[in-house]
Amino acid sequence: MAPLPGYPPPIHQFHHLLCRSEEELAEIQGTQLLSTTLGVKEYVQSEFLKVENEVILPNKNIFPSTVTFDDFLWAFGMLRSRAFSRLRGENLVLIPLADLINHNYRIKSEDDSWEIKAKGIFSRELIFSLRTPVPVNMGEQVYIQYDLKKSDAELALDYGFIESTSDRQIYTLTLEIAESDPFYGDKLDIAESNGFGESAYFDIVLGCPLPPSMLPYLRLVALGGTDAFLLESIFRDSIWRHLELPISRSNEETICKVVRDACRSALSLYQTTIEEDEELLERGQLDPRLKIAVAIRAGEKKVLQQIDSTFSEREQELNGLEYYQERRLKDLGLIGEEGEIIFWESK
């Protein structure tokens, strides 16, 4: 069988982020994607040094030419982009020809696209089968869905393309309980009892509400002062239910300020505005690599502005929120539904 033209693509035609120059990566300065990309490159660099010392240099006669870090990076990118999802780790495998099948965002199912099964009842051989989850007419290209859960940033890093749909535009907020917090131990215990840890990661999707557990975790992190009594062991079984609702004005004020400050800080790291990015995209005729960079940074900024706007609106509502003490007094029958104080007289 003759080799397929342009398969696999050479490094200068490969859109994978790992194979981009420093100048190209500068286009995503300030983004979470850049820090992730640099982290992956650092990992690949350490792996290359190990392979070079343990395999390449001791066996120079096996390799017809010098293997450089760029070669290794290209190979890593090819493997990352062409291995089928779920066939990772110990099951990592490349399947020639099958890996040429393209992604289509209109397909909303990934489970039925392919399967691995035995060749026969008594055979040890395995067969990889591709199945299209949608009807295909004769002569049309067959597509599959690569991964429904990946953000545009993850698609760009793994495959070298994006969708630019709102549900793929995601920003990950990292929250953590500081070790210097005087209530660190109690807060960590509460977090772990509810499926979290010292750090928690929340994916914020453009156009979608905040993740349900984000506000309770934020309130826990900010808990202190006169609200610290809720950290006592007597409340341990019920505190998360309390954290699902506003605790106090000062606590709610703190979480709004912390999140808005973090958003403004993150937005200040970008070199362009959303308007400038959108103007570039509307103009068209952008190099494919630059188009991905511009769309990624615009998407992240939109999500950050959405988060900032959400907590700005919450700041305006602080006076109208019902806090823990009011709820508790209502439970005890000491104030009415309208907030009036109820006096009980002894007979």
Q: Rg of the chain over CA atoms, in angstroms?
A: 27
The neighbour count for residue 272, using CB atoms within 10 Å, is: 17
CA–CA dist 200, 150 (Å, integer)? 19
Closest residue by Cα to residue 216 from 186, 189, 239: 239
CA–CA dist 230, 216 (Å, integer)? 13
Q: Give the position of tokens 């019902």.
A: 322
Catalytic residues: 146
Contact 30, 269 (CB under 8 A): yes
The neighbour count for residue 36, using CB atoms within 10 Å, is: 16
Contact 144, 107 (CB under 8 A): yes
Cα dihedral sign for 35, 163, 82, 89?
A: positive
CA–CA dist 220, 247 (Å, integer)? 10
Q: Which residues contact 307 (CB under 8 A, 6 or more apart)?
A: 171, 173, 204, 210, 259, 263
The total number of residues shown for the chain amounts to 347
Q: Which residues contact 31 (CB under 8 A, 6 or more apart)?
A: 153, 270, 296, 297, 300
For residue 335, what are the β-bridge partners?
A: 341
Residue 341 three-state SS: strand
